[in-house]
């Protein structure tokens, strides 16, 4: 627990400073790093030693470059190109392994896992880059990031003090219906209160309805993201994805929910602007 608290006290202020103070490129660079590490962690967790070095290299490069392409305004072209490169490299490695018949079989599931690691993970995290680039981007990206923490906190405390109906899913058997509801409510309340405070600081009016939607659907996405990566852990017998953050695990352990929450918040604020 001490390591967890110390790591949070050190890394959280650094991350927030990079997110809010320098130009958006600094935050984009950090997201590229997080994305690349997360991609590597996922391949290590699910690959079983069968994802070859060229496959890993192509996947990690894709994960690192895609957020930068989003920042540069090359979103669609970048996604298309990197998806093709990762798929082509990984299928070629799988075909070569099949032809050599050396006992190392790279299956279709391994190819799909590299595509998920190299494209889907960075694409989800790139929503945080897009939010930072928008008008009032500092407030919007901070909303998406803090919303995940508020949802997790609401779900935890509601589950501890009110949880009666557990076993909603075997992936997280200790989570209760009351915990999930508490997380959803916490997301809505946080988003609305955050908007009121942000409007005072920014000196602009806010759309509280849009913020409430961000809170509700962002909270749902946060819970889904947490369950999704817990499912992967269960299936492959993984406790933590990595050890890069002492007491917290790997990048996937900390940013899994943001990969789901970020795109949802981005979609809502593009359809119903907050400011």
**What does R_g of the chain's alpha carbons equal in angstroms?**
19
Which tens digit of pLDDT belongs to each residue from 15-32? 999 999 999 999 999 999
In angstroms, rounded to a whole number, what is the distance separating the alpha carbons of residues 184 and 190? 10
Q: What is the pLDDT of residue 98?
A: 87
pLDDT, tens only, 76-88: 999 999 999 999 9
Give every residue of the chain whose pLDDT is below 50, as ranges. none
* pLDDT score of 49: 83
What local confidence, expressed as pLDDT, does residue 247 receive? 64
Buried b (16+ CB within 10 A) or exposed e, 162-181: ebeeeeeeebbeebbbbbbe
What is residue 207's DSSP assignment? -
Pair of tokens at residue 144: 């998406």
Chain centroid to CA 249: 14
Element (H, E) at 201: helix 177-202
Nearest by Cα to 143 from 5, 264, 272: 264
Q: What is the pLDDT of residues 246-263, one digit of tens each?
A: 767 789 988 999 999 999
Does the CA dihedral 184-164-254-225 come out positive or negative? negative
User: What CA–CA distance (Å, rounded) separates 16 from 34?
Assistant: 14
């Amino acid at each position: 627990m001490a390591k967890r608290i110390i790591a949070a006290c050190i890394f959280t202020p650094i991350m927030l400073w990079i997110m809010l103070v320098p130009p958006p490129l600094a935050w984009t660079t950090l997201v590229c790093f997080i994305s690349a590490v997360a991609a590597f962690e996922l391949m290590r967790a699910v690959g079983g030693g069968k994802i070859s070095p060229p496959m890993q290299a192509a996947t990690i490069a894709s994960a690192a470059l895609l957020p930068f392409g989003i920042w540069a305004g090359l979103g669609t072209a970048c996604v298309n190109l990197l998806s093709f490169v990762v798929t082509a490299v990984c299928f070629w490695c799988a075909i070569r392994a099949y032809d050599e018949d050396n006992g190392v079989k790279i299956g279709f599931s391994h190819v799909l896992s590299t595509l998920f690691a190299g494209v889907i993970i960075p694409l989800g995290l790139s929503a945080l880059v897009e939010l930072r680039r928008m008008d009032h981007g500092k407030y919007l990206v901070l909303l998406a990031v803090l919303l995940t923490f508020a949802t997790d906190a609401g779900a935890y405390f509601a589950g501890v003090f009110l949880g009666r109906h557990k076993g909603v899913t075997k992936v997280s058997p200790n989570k209760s219906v009351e915990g999930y509801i508490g997380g959803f409510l916490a997301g809505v309340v946080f988003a609305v209160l955050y908007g009121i405070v942000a409007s005072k600081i920014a000196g602009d009016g806010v759309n509280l309805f849009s913020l409430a939607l961000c809170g509700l659907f962002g909270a749902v996405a946060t819970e889904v993201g947490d369950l999704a990566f817990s499912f992967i852990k269960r299936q492959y017998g993984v406790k933590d994805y990595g050890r890069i953050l002492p007491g917290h695990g790997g990048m996937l352990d900390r940013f899994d929910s943001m990969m789901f929450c970020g795109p949802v918040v981005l979609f809502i604020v593009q359809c119903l602007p907050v400011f």
